[in-house]
Structures are given as C-alpha cells and as structure tokens.
Amino acid sequence: MNPNRLLDLFCELVRIESPSRREAAMAGRCADELRSLGFEVRFDGSASQTGSDTGNLIAHLPGTAGGAIVLSAHMDTVQPCAGIEPVVEGGVVRSAGDTILSADDKAGVAAILEGVRSALEDGASRPDITVLLTTCEELHLLGAGALAEDELPAGAPCYVLDADGAPGTVIVGAPCHWTLEARFSGRAAHAGVEPEKGASAIAMAAAAVAAMPLGRIDEATTANIGTISGGCATNVVPDACALAGECRSLFAERAEAQKAAMTAALEDAAARFGGAVEVEWTKSYDAVLYDEDDELVRGLSSAIRAAGLEPRFHRSGGGADANVLCARGVRAVTLGIGMTAFHSVDEHIAVADLEGSARLVEALITEGARG
C-alpha cells in the first residue's frame, strides 16, 4: 500500500462533486482507474430506475487462483458537496469550507482502488475480483436496489466499505427499515365563529404522536416521526394534516409490533376527534444479522488481523447497500472505514484509517485467494 498515492487519490475523489443522481463524473474517474488496472468495466441500466445520470459501476478482473470476492462502496454523497477542498492537518483530513468532506463514501472507494492496485503490484495469487460502485445509496439505497440479481458472482462474499467505526469494525447487525406516511382528514370550520363544527386534523396528528411509543423502543428497535404538515390559515380549523416517520429493527417481528402500535395510535386519534386517517407503510430494506462465528465473519476476522487491525463487532442503527444485497442472497457485510461526523460540515477521517482500510482490502484479496 502506497500511503502518499492513497491520500492523493482520496483528495482527488472528494473534489469531484457527486451528489445523489449526479454521479457520472465520479463514475468516469473510477472507471478510468479500474481500466488502468486491467478490469473490464461496464455500467448497468439502473439509471432509468434511479434517475441518476449514470448506472452502477461493475468491474471484473479474472483471478489467478480459485475463489471470488466482491468489493463495494457508493459513489454518491449528501449535500453540501460543491467545491469541497480537503485539508490535511495533524494526520486528519477535513473540509476547508462549509461543505461535507465526503469520506462517506469516497474513503471506501479510495481504499478499494488503492488496495486492489497494491495487491496487483505485489503479484500474489488472487481470486476473481468484482468491484461494485453504486449510485443513489443516500436515497434509501436506490442504486443497489436497482441492481439486477445476476450481476454479482454467485456465492462470493461481498465487502461493503461504508460504515463508521475504525477499520476492523464489522457490522454484524443492521436493521430493516419501514417508512410511514399518514394522512388525516377532518372538517374545516371558522376557528373564531363556529370551531365546534370543525374536526382538527392537526389535533388528531398531535394526539397520535403523543400516544405513540417513539425513540429507542428496545436494544434492537427504534421509531420516529420526522415531519408533520397541515392547515392553511390561523382562522380555519384544519381539515387535513400529513405526517411521515419510520420504524427500524434488527428483528422483523419487533418491527411488525412497532408498526402495529403506531398504526393503532393513528387510528385511535382519528376516531377520537371524529375524523379519518389513511396509513401507508413501505419497506425500504430488510435487516442483516450475522453471528460472530459465521463463516463469513470468521474469514473477515482473519483478514483484519493480517492487515494489522483488531476485529470489532458492532450492530448499527442504519442501513447500507449490504441490507439490499443480503435480501437477494448475496453474502454481504458492511465494514467500518473510520469516517467521523459524516453528513455534516464537521466530517473528517484520520489518514491512518484510510491506510488501514486499504491494507484490509489487500488482506481480503489474499484471504479470498485461499478460498
């Protein structure tokens, strides 16, 4: 692993503006890098489903030994990402201005590209290597969700470099995710002349939220109401109000119980105020849950130690592309890359963590060749 080359590549990538649905420039740069390493690179047809200006990048390099692995990260970032200028101070990379750094997930992309290049330079035996760089991950994993089921090699482990936690961190649990949309209907009336004839849809929503179990429900389950909107004027009893929220859990049955409790609170509040409510739940993705003695996790632990890192096992409260891929039968697991305060202008990453992630990619390739 070449530390200077890695840092230069990371700084180059973060300067490329690539918000969700505008990843084409980033995709082009990554494609050039992979082609220079001998990969066959192509883009799938997912853009028609995601609305992005490019498809998911899928690159393949035949191995010199048995086995196959998939290395994955995402190319899109959240806003504000225009004009990012990275600054390296005291062994830490930050943004110089009022922007994110985009270590989420360009640190993952850079680690894959440098780790693969270093492994090829070493000339050691390698498995078949597939690199998957997705679009629109920040939009409820749309890019991975639009990936055709036959795009990845059957049975190959898929390592998704896209989590907080130091390199060596293995996300052995990530929750399923459900989104909620509810629309209350009441009766409009003049708020000063005859409020008794009205039925406030906002009051219904307020009562429903007050009655819901929200926040951390248990060690594996969370729920939240994130937005409420309704009404048209201060002198009108509102006849419409909408709210949106979510539910997450590592266990499907607990998610179902939480959804039922939230739905009951919505319906009870509507009935209490003489109105009605439409409730719609949509599943975003399924949960991922591994035992620490799972074959995939054991192999990861070996590679992590070979990279000079310490295995750490964590359960996350958020999802990643691995959630979508696992639901399709791919043996996918998310790895920590050291990004900190991501999705904020305070985002940063230690240079040592960039290097640790690249070393881990090298070790995963070596481990993959051993089968």
Please report, for the domain that includes residue 334, its CATH number.
3.40.630.10
Q: Are residues 24 and 142 in the same domain?
A: yes
Query: Residue 53 corresponds to which amino acid?
Result: D
> For a pLDDT cut of 90, what percent of the chain falls above it?
95
Please report, for the domain that includes residue 247, its CATH number.
3.30.70.360
Tokens of 73: 């990260």
Which of 261, 285, 309 corresponds to the end of one domain?
285
Q: Are residues 51 and 162 in the same domain?
A: yes
For residues 248-277, average pLDDT = 98
**Contacts for 41 with CB less than 8 Å, ≥ 6 apart:** 31, 34, 35, 57, 58, 59
Q: Are residues 164 and 193 in the same domain?
A: no
Which of 268, 285, 302 corresponds to the end of one domain?
285
Residues 223/212, Cβ–Cβ less than 8 Å: yes
Domains in the chain, number: 2
Q: Are residues 23 and 157 in the same domain?
A: yes
Which of 285, 303, 334 corresponds to the end of one domain?
285
Show the domain range for 256: 176-285
Q: Is 367 known to be catalytic?
A: no
Mean per-residue pLDDT of the chain: 96
For residues 347, 349, 354, 356, the Cα torsion angle rounded to the nearest 10 degrees is -130
Q: Are residues 16 and 92 in the same domain?
A: yes
Q: Are residues 253 and 309 in the same domain?
A: no
Active-site hit among 137, 347, 353, 367: 137
Q: Are residues 180 and 117 in the same domain?
A: no
Q: Are residues 306 and 166 in the same domain?
A: yes
pLDDT digits (tens, 9 = 90+) for 23-80: 999 999 999 999 999 999 999 999 999 999 999 999 999 999 989 999 999 999 999 9
Q: Are residues 251 and 196 in the same domain?
A: yes
Q: Are residues 86 and 101 in the same domain?
A: yes
- DSSP assignment of 172-216 equals EEE-EEEEEEEEEE-B-EETTT-GGG-B-HHHHHHHHHHHS--EE
Q: Are residues 238 and 315 in the same domain?
A: no
Can you give the pLDDT at residue 371?
A: 62
Q: Is 76 known to be catalytic?
A: yes
**Predicted structure pTM score:** 0.91
- 81 pLDDT band, cuts 50/70/90, is very high
Distance, C-alpha 20 to centroid of its chain: 12
Active-site hit among 76, 239, 355, 367: 76
